[in-house]
Chains A and B, each alone.
Chain A
Amino acid sequence: NFMLTQPHSVSESPGKTVTISCTRSSGSIASNYVQWYQQRPGSSPTTVIYEDNQRPSGVPDRFSGSIDSSSNSASLTISGLKTEDEADYYCQSYDSSNQVFGGGTKLTVL
């Protein structure tokens, strides 16, 4: 079993770029695809990145995903921040056939 660790919170100004990390505790981050979900206050989660770096249709290209084997982590980068990006972000991967979620990161755009 492994855990996915995310920073509790990050903040940045509109127009800037922010990166949220997701570190896998054991096993290789490259072993299983990583997904990222956005959850705005009072709303259901939506997918912003799947299969490490793929964007669903309708998700702006300001959102990008990557993995780094050297740090055994995945990252979600949001460029050109907008106030509407303020939300909780969760990474998710698989441990065999079980899903594992990170604890979530609260992004504040101020």
Chain B
Amino acid sequence: EVQLVESGGGLVKPGGSLRLSCAASGFTFSSYSMNWVRQAPGKGLEWVSSISSSSSYIYYADSVKGRFTISRDNAKNSLYLQMNSLRAEDTAVYYCASGSYNDYWGQGTLVTVSS
């Protein structure tokens, strides 16, 4: 059974940093691209970032470029999102999702940016 389990969310002050993790199991993690997608409270889905299977290709939404860094460790079946210079508008549930078509999604982790 495919499982994606996010962790690392929490309350952080504006300008602060947070590192999200996504632990994958039930599939060959190293063969799949991975994505972060977020959802602000009561709002729709917003793509954040994607990374190819070997980390050769990395893409970011304009809204997070220069502040967020996606990475992965295929030996640990894990995906990460380092978030710096956080803003109130980054408040959202952050989901990791697998594959080019977001085949599977985690349960999400809530990030709240507030003073």
Chain B neighbourhood of A63, CB < 8 A: none
**Majority secondary structure, A binding face:** strand
The tally of residues in A whose CB lies under 8 Å from a CB in B reads 22
Stretch at the interface among A11-19, A21-29, A72-80, A100-108: A100-108
Please determine whether A47 and B106 come into contact, CB atoms closer than 8 angstroms: no
Please determine whether B44 and A104 come into contact, CB atoms closer than 8 angstroms: yes
Please determine whether A100 and B50 come into contact, CB atoms closer than 8 angstroms: no
Please name the residue on chain B nearest to A49 by beta carbon.
B101
- Distance to closest chain A CB from B79 (angstroms): 15
Given contacts A33-B101, A98-B59, A98-B61, contact A44 B106 (CB under 8 A): yes
Residues of A within 8 A of B (CB): 33, 35, 37, 39, 44-47, 50-51, 56, 88, 90, 92, 97-104
